[in-house]
Structure 1
């Protein structure tokens, strides 16, 4: 009986793998989307480390700025890929049909141990309870911070931390409200404006860049004319509006600011070349 179950499971697995290989291939998923997802996860991890007290504000700001710079460098990467070769897909399908069941059987005969019992839930209960407790502690810390800010609404750094926390928790609207208050209370703070602009860019829809994010980046440019993220995105906005002279000026300045070994230089050079 168990071999019938195994056969059915293998057939389902093979069918799931063959389906995308045998149908016409859509455009491949963009590598840049994967990179941006990884960078967003890293930003969320930084926010969690700050909330747990593992990173100071200065350490978190430095780490977050580097990650955001990588996000901005990757944001304009081409999001199309050449269609997959259909013949290659069919060859892969045949290989799967022939090799996957044999490989699965071979591994099972070598490594399988059906006589072993499953790990009972009770053995995992402590670990699950610890994870739930940690999540509850983080939620409680964020709640306490929000309550404290009600009593002290002029704490700009507190609003910035609350914005990062809400962003990491996926509470985007509340994060935007907190960032908005932080920006008003911290007129010369570049990191909080970068955080807010990055969030607005992540949440934007459509081909045009959100004006609210562009305003934040213009404010950053007024504070620090050599800030790389501001130069890049303001140049992108100018190019999208047909102002090639301004875009060229901003990106040329950016090329003098970013390090010679920075992976973002090639992307900026591509943008400059596209203006010709």
Structure 2
């Protein structure tokens, strides 16, 4: 069924390309034929005027010569048209109309996943109903805040901005946060969330306005991890990779024990280090207590890796599957391990288990939503799941 639908859409796309091309060519031919008929009528009119003595013989001869010259010019231009009026462009359009659907089918045959189950209509309807209800509540809250003579409480605007961010209405979130950013009681968290909204509204670009909000967040609380994270992002955007890396490492070194955001800092620092040839770091460099347990996920031991090298393909696949199953079992006992669910989603994606990856991604996203506002783990989780296509 999906191939039939795809074939129909491809045919419609090709027609959308080709029909205007051939209509244009027919229109051009029609205009040339009409012009020739007009010139013939003009020749006949000159002959009639000469016969009635309305014009002299020399005038008639000159008129006929001019009309015939125009007819010859038109005939020559029509003959040259295939080479000068865009035949190359027409050929390119025809090739594109045929090649693009063919390439689409080829890519889908390699990367497509027609076996992924569709979402039941009842679930989609429930989601839409929930989204509509949230939008109505947000509109009601905004109206009440605007009607407040004192400008509305800071907590109210903060809640509204956070709601807009969850809804994906980044421009509205920017407007909500901007109303409280200059208030005397604006905290570092307010400015870091304001910066996050500004960055999201610009598709990840840290604008000067966002940079100012980041700077203010760090000034109010140098230990705000969100402020440090976005400040590092701004430095990386400016090409100052080593400074961005150093900022993350410095903040990791001042952490009081393990914090959930540290895992995202380590990952970002290692990505930057890879770009400028720096040395990668590990979470255990900053949280030694993670070495023997905690929420860190133990990887394969040296003995495991050595044994895997000697396995057959089937045994190695079974070995990898057993490790993933072991991770999934551990997460059932420790369901609050955000990083663990992200790794499980990544593992299922590599194994091609779409349903398992989707479940793990859903759990990770729910845990990220429960993080404190301003925690960089929220944005990092979204970025990681988007990279996996989940």
Normalised to the residue count of structure 1, the TM-score between the two structures is 0.47
Normalised to the residue count of structure 2, the TM-score between the two structures is 0.35
Larger radius of gyration: 2
